[in-house]
Amino acid sequence: MRSWIKPALFIACLIPLAQLAYGFYTDDLTANPIEYITRFTGSWALIILITSLAVTPLRKMFGWNALIKYRRMLGLFAFFYAVLHFLTYMILDHFFDFQAIAKDIYKRPYVTAGFTSFVLMIPLALTSTATMIRRLGKRWQQLHRLAYIAAAAGVLHFYWLVKSDIRRPAQYGAVLALLLGVRVVYALLPAASKRFAGKAKAVTPQTGGSRSTSAR
Ligand code: HEM
């Protein structure tokens, strides 16, 4: 019934690329096009990555289980924009000067954080196929928790590169912390309710009650 959502989301994720292509075609990428493209692709990589991380919290909080169908696409688009971001840096900014790139990764903390984020996204993209999900089983979920670390490294990368106005990285950081907070609460909830159920069972025979309070 909602078969249009997936293609619509696919097209929506291509809009930033189209915007970039249009800006290139009309020669409207500011006075420093390389910096513009780097920032633009970096921003979209992080926005889409954080959006993909919102899927599980939204499912848990509101029961919107259908969202799971779009998570893989979002993750892969985040990686796609991260690849464009890295290629812009490697080709347009550094002209394949791998020595300078390695020095940058080693010496500049914000590049180290960006590189960490990018490297962490690689196994996530490679294991996003149905075959890999089946093959890795439970380990797939554990591996894909790396997406949170990749996003946190992306936020740190952004935070470290801005000179004074930290509002945007702080906003991304706040959203990420909120999403992680929801995950932690839901991870602790079953443990807490199990403990509660255990206590309730222990109390029930003494009080003579026949119904367990955990059922309520
Ligand atoms: C090898 C990996 C990476 C390198 C070398 C790199 C490098 C850079 C550089 C040079 C800039 C522009 C700095 C400036 O304006 O002076 C930048 C900006 C940025 N990057 Fe990266 N980056 C990498 C990975 C990533 C990843 C994986 C993400 C997202 C998950 C990301 C998100 C961003 C963001 C959000 C910005 C700032 C955008 C803005 O100013 O609006 N970067 N990066």
Q: What is the pLDDT of residues 71-95, one digit of tens each?
A: 999 999 999 999 999 999 999 999 9
Does the pLDDT at position 6 exceed 80? yes
Which three-class secondary structure state does DSSP give residue 3?
coil
Can you tell me the distance from the alpha carbon of 27 to that of 78, in angstroms, rounded to the nearest whole number? 26
SS3 at position 7? helix
Q: Which of 82, 59, 71, 92 is nearest to 153 (CA)?
A: 82
Instruction: Give residue 35's pLDDT.
Output: 97
Nearest CA to ligand 1 atom 24: 114
List for the chain the helix, strand, coil content (%; round to 5). Answer: 85, 0, 15
Determine if residue 187 is left, alpha or beta; phi over 0 gives left, psi from -120 to 50 gives alpha, anything else beta. Answer: alpha
Residue 172 Cβ < 6 Å to ligand 1: no
The structure tokens listed for 24 are: 């290139």
Please check whether residue 108 is in contact with residue 161, taking contact to mean a CB–CB distance below 8 angstroms: no
Residue 1 Cα to ligand 1 middle (Å): 39
Using the predicted structure, report yes or no on whether residue 214 has a pLDDT greater than 70.
no
- For the chain, percent of residues with pLDDT exceeding 70: 88
- Nearest ligand 1 atom, CA 118: 27
- Angle, CA of 16, 22 and 28, to the nearest 5°: 105
- pLDDT at residue 45 is higher than 90: yes
Query: How large is the average pLDDT for residues 59-66?
Result: 94
Tens-place pLDDT, residues 153-187: 999 999 999 989 999 999 999 999 999 999 999 99
The confidence score (pLDDT) of residue 196 equals: 58
Q: Is ligand 1 within 6 A of the CB of residue 86? A: yes
Quickly state the pLDDT bin for 197 (edges 50, 70, 90): low
Could you tell me the residue ranges of all domains in the chain? 5-215
Q: Tell whether ligand 1 has an atom less than 6 A from the beta carbon of residue 118.
A: yes
Instruction: Please give the mean pLDDT across all residues of the chain.
Output: 91
* pLDDT for the residue 192: 64
**45 CB near ligand 1 (under 6 Å):** yes
Rg (CA), the chain: 22
CA of 42 to the centre of ligand 1 (A): 5
Share of the chain above pLDDT 90, in %: 85
Which positions ≥6 away from 103 have C-beta within 8 Å? none
pLDDT in tens, 114-157: 999 999 999 999 999 999 999 999 999 999 999 999 999 999 99
Alpha-carbon span 156 to 142, nearest angstrom: 22
